[in-house]
Amino acid sequence: MAKIQFFGAARTVTGSCHMVTIGKHRFLLDSGQFQGPWELEKLNYAGFGFKPSTINGLILSHGHLDHCGRIPVLQKMGFENNIYCTPPTEDIALLILMDSAHILKEEFLWKQRRLTRAGIKVKEPLYSLEDVYFCMQLFGSRVPYNKKVKIAPDVHLSFHLNDAGHILGSAQVVLEYKEKRGKAKKIVFTGDLGDGGRPTVDDPAPPEPDIHTLVMESTYGDRDHKSYQASVEELEEAITSTVKRKGTVLIPTFALERTQELLYHIGNMKRSGKLSKRIPVFLNSPLAINITRIYQKHCDYCSLFKKTPLNKKHTPFEFPGLFFTETVEESKAIHGIAGPKIILAGSGMMTGGRIKHHLKHLLWKDSTTLIVVGFQAEGTLGRRIIEGAEQVHIFGEPVAVRARIYTINGFSAHADRTSLLKYVKKARPKKLFIVHGEPNAQNALAKTIKKALPRTDIHIPSLGQHYAI
């Protein structure tokens, strides 16, 4: 008998972690970090709900922190078997985990300075940079798309990865096994599905035939995205109008996928003459710079390299006037440069990183344009700004919000309601588990799917809940 149990991304978006048990074999699908309010983040310190030493292997869908962020903890608690993923995902996960370890250490030191004097003991960081290096030794089982890998011969258990179209190297996981009577069964985990029609990644692969059990994300299960082309046009208009009035364009951006997509579109503006080649563009995020280099390394996984006659020395993300500012000194020097300019910096929700320094210098100027292209969670600085705050506090100082604010919602890397419904109608699974979404999105999606597929057995699992499959 096979069983599936949910240890993350259950009635919430983050912390992706699902266990599939077939016979005596136990495999994890992802081991992600919970993110958001403390009620969620404290789950990162609460153990897993199973013994990591009993897990026979981990299949990682992609390199976002909410999918790979607890792998170092898993290893520290006894997991010592193979981690399977695509080649780009391994390289991206290393960078993401190293960056996470650095942030965890900085947060620990800040809390220690602040709270120790009050006699409050501060929790040690979830993991260290050393822990990241140890867990990366479990990687190495690099699996390209469509390659069948046998992982438990006694139950004829194998898997292969299909393109999820979400970020570079992202994958849908297809598990296949045979029951005692010889009947084959197929379990599919979508990971995070892309919406299609994006320049930097291929469209998601269509669903496999004859799916018995489908575990599907639902981030945007209750709404559709704005037209992608309309979003690109709005981005271009915001940039060109700001340059005409000799202002500064400030774009808080996520290091992985969104940055590369924006660089591509800004480069297109320069190549087409919509934007002068003399206008400087600063990519002011060391993590985003390093991830952009991974796109160059794994050009065979990036659709842009397939569509353009460029070699590995000249990427689709390079164009005249683009500067990678890696050091703090280079970052500070940007504000001394006169004239119109474009700055891309992290973090995407404006909660930390170099973007906060730029906001402090530029948000109060009416010549500045702030272009928000990513989701802003409740409680973040970015959320307060897009909701119309007239003043915000940055590094403890009040800063007036006089910049022009553009909120462009069409750049999401997740499938929207229509795309998710189209996917599941093609898949026609016998059992469907809806994960990786807020309750409203999950409930709305389940209701929509039930109307389209009344015979499908639909579940929205809670944390720790298990099912026979």
Residue 63 and residue 16 in contact, taking contact as beta carbons nearer than 8 Å: no
Question: In the structure encoding, which two tokens stand for residue 179, read together?
Answer: 């029951």
Q: Write the DSSP assignment of 231-272 as a string of letters.
A: HHHHHHHHHHHHHHTT-EEEEE--TTTHHHHHHHHHHHHHHH
Structure tokens at 152: 């438990």
pLDDT at 284 over 80: yes
Residue 303: its pLDDT value, please? Answer: 83
Question: 429 pLDDT exceeds 60?
Answer: yes
What pLDDT does residue 114 have? 82
Sheet-wide strand order for 83-85: 141-142, 83-85, 57-59, 25-29, 17-22, 2-8, 466-468
Provide mean pLDDT across the span 337-343: 97
Cross-strand bridge partners of residue 172: 162
Question: DSSP letter string over 343-375?
Answer: EEES-TTSSSSTHHHHHHHHTT-TTEEEEE-S-
pLDDT of residue 313: 53
Q: Which of 318, 305, 380 is nearest to 346 (CA)?
A: 380
With cut-offs at 50, 70 and 90, classify the pLDDT of residue 107: confident
- Assess whether pLDDT exceeds 60 at residue 312: no
SS3 assignment for 289-350: HHHHHHHHHCHHHCHHHHHCCCCCCCCCCCCCCEEECCCHHHHHHHHHCCCCEEEEECCCCC
pLDDT, position 113: 86
Radius of gyration for the chain, computed over Cα atoms and rounded to the nearest angstrom: 23
Instruction: Please give the domain boundaries of the chain with CATH numbers for all domains.
Output: 2-97+143-223+417-468 (3.60.15.10), 228-407 (3.40.50.10890)
Query: Using CA atoms, how far apart are residues 49 and 437, in angstroms rounded to an integer?
Result: 21
Longest dimension (CA), the chain: 74
What's the whole-number mean pLDDT along residues 63-73?
97
What is the percent of the chain with per-residue pLDDT over 90, rounded to a whole number?
A: 83
pLDDT of residue 235 exceeding 60, the answer is yes
pLDDT of 330 above 70: yes
* Position 280 confidence tier, pLDDT thresholds 50, 70, 90: very high
CA gap 128, 149 in Å, rounded: 32
Q: pLDDT tens for residues 174-203?
A: 999 987 777 889 999 999 999 999 999 999
For the stretch 348-379, pLDDT in tens is 889 888 999 999 999 999 999 999 998 787 77
pLDDT greater than 60 at residue 310: no
Percent above pLDDT 70 for the chain: 98
Average pLDDT over residues 64-78: 97
385 phi/psi in degrees, rounded to 5? -70, -45
Dihedral pair phi/psi, residue 68, rounded to 5° = -120, -5
* Stretch (H or E) spanning 4: strand 2-8
Residue 61: its pLDDT value, please? 99
pLDDT at residue 63, rounded to an integer? 97
Q: Quote the mean pLDDT of the chain.
A: 94
**Collapsing DSSP states into helix, strand and coil, what is residue 198?**
coil
Q: Which residue has the higher pLDDT, 80 or 380?
A: 80
Return the SS3 of 215.
Answer: strand
- Strand, coil or helix: 69: coil
User: Residue range 386-396: average pLDDT?
Assistant: 94
With b for 16 or more beta-carbon neighbours within 10 A and e for fewer, the 396-410 pattern comes to eeebebebbbbebeb
pLDDT of residue 377: 73
Per-residue confidence (pLDDT) for residue 401, from 0 to 100: 98
Give the pLDDT score at 153.
Answer: 86
pLDDT score of 73 more than 90: yes
Residue 1 has pLDDT above 90, yes or no: no
pLDDT digits (tens, 9 = 90+) for 123-160: 899 999 999 999 999 998 999 999 999 999 888 999 99
pLDDT band (50, 70, 90) for residue 462: very high
Cis peptide before 419 (omega within 30 of 0): no
- Please give the Cα distance from 119 to 110 (Å, whole number): 15
